[in-house]
Every structure is written in C-alpha cells, then in structure tokens.
Amino acid sequence: MCGIAGFTHRNFLPDPARIKEAARCIHHRGPDQSGSFETRQVSLGAVRLKIIDLTGGDQPMRTEDGDTVIVFNGEVYNHAEIRSELESLGARFRSHCDTEVVLRAYAQWGKQSFPRLRGMFAFAVWVESERRLVLARDRMGIKPLYVHRHGDDIYFGSELKNLFEHPEIERRFNLTGLNLYLSLNYIPGNHTMVEGIEKLQPGHWLEWRDGHVTEDAYWRLQFDPRPMTLDGAKEELDALLRSSIREHLVSDVPLGVWSSGGLDSSTIVHYACQEAGRQLKTFSVS
C-alpha cells in the first residue's frame, strides 16, 4: 500500500524528528521500509510495502546528483514501456522498480511526464536547485493525497493523521464534509472532514515554488462517443478487463484477491486465474 508525508518550511527550521513521526504514524501502510529526506526548505517521508524490486526500491529515492528526490505511493502499470523509452534517451537505471521510472520520467519531461503514467499513485517530487515541490495524483484518485496550505508553506500526506502531527494545523470539523459524508456515505471532490485540509483532485498536480502555489489538471476525461455493436462492445470490454488485470498481476511477491462474492470481484478472480496461469489465493470476510 505504501504512504508518503511531507511539508515545506520556508521560514522556520522544524525539529528533524517531526517528519519521522509523520511517517511513523502511517507505518501500517508500509511496514517493510521507511525513510526521510530533509533540506532547509522541505522534509519528505515515506513508508513502503514492497511489491516490485524488493531490494532496490527504498525511499525516498534520489537522482545521482542528489538534486531531484521522490516519495511515491502506488503502482505504475506501464512502467516497463516508459523505462524502455527513457533508456533509449540515455537514462541508466539502478533498480527495477516503478518508483525510479517515475523519478527519471520527471527528470526528463517534467510535469509532461504525468499523462504518460498509467496506474494508481500519489507522489511528491522535490527539485533542490529550483526549490520546487510538485505533488501529483492518479487520474481516478485511487490513491489519497491530503494537502493543507499554511502561510507560505504546504503540508501533505496519504492520511489525515500525517497532517495532525503538525502543531500549525488546527483540528476543526468541516461541517460541509460531514454533511456530504452523511448524505452520500463518502466525501467527494476536494472536501474532507477537517477545516483547511483538502484532497488534491484526481488527475491534478500541485506545485509549490519558494512559497507560491499553483495547481492544474494534467488529464481530463474525454467523452468521444462512437458507433458500436453489442458484440463489439462485449469484445472490447473483455479485452480491456483482461489487459488491466494482467497488468495488476505484475509483482515480486505472492498475490491474492479479496472476494466479496459479488459480480465485480468474481469477474476479477475469473480473469486473474486465466492470466496468472496458476491457482490464486482468495480472501473473503463474513
């Protein structure tokens, strides 16, 4: 699952223990490895659940010159394709993990790399020479990323409790968020239950640069209807499900499927068994 945390401190020097505590409070998300990175302007933390490249993907991860650093939560399913393209441009990789692919893709293309990523993710990239912090979230918002702006600084994390480690952030109920939760059983958009804390919108990036914040979308859903027969639609759905689930099965550790017994999880088990070519463990809760 993994988790990330971090904050900028443009006009103050925090206790070095603060970022470690912000990461420690989400240890359950990444019990296999944890780490932190700090400069005069930023502190980053990460906890990792090892799925791909068990020995080479420790975080935070830095480029050889130490100028660019990433903390990453999630998985990029087309990382092998992007890796091949980067290698053709001269990039040399030290690991086999998708985290390094995202790091080197950003170093090569900047924010233009984000639309290339197909997966579920939330990450932060710090460029020391530019005093620039960039956050990004996947297209569907599968991975969470909470953000608070306080004066010239921003605070972020995979869970609200990351942000509660900071004394600057008040714990005040957001009644709009509460009303949305009671009405819908979830909280949509950028709202949260806490006043002053928002979720980065799906398919968006947020950039902090020396105290100035900008935000924009790197991807928007395109509605492009086209004529299709029922048989054609069934064939395309079958191909999309098969392709997607095949990509989700890439792992260096054993995989299983949580099955609720409904149509969606049963469909996933069906395709997963076909694509894996072996028996899969399934889990259910009653």
Looking at 2, 25, 97, 273, which residue is catalytic?
2
Q: What is the CA radius of gyration of the chain?
A: 20
Pairing type for strands 281-283 and 256-258 reads parallel
Place of tokens 């759905």: 237
Task: Tell which residue, 25, 134, 110, 121, has the closest CA to residue 72.
Answer: 121
Helix (H) or strand (E) holding 257: strand 256-258
Show the tokens assigned to 96.
């086999």
Name the amino acid, one letter, at 135.
L
Q: Where are the alpha helices (DSSP H) in the chain?
A: 17-24, 79-88, 98-109, 160-163, 175-184, 230-248, 263-276
Q: Is residue 47 helix, strand or coil?
A: strand
264, exposed or middle or buried, with CB in 10 Å at 0-12, 13-18, 19+? exposed
Could you give the CA distance from residue 145 to residue 124 in angstroms, rounded to a whole number?
Answer: 10
Show the tokens assigned to 190.
């950028």
Based on the residue annotation, tell me whether 2 is a catalytic residue of this protein.
Answer: yes
Tell me the catalytic residues.
Answer: 2
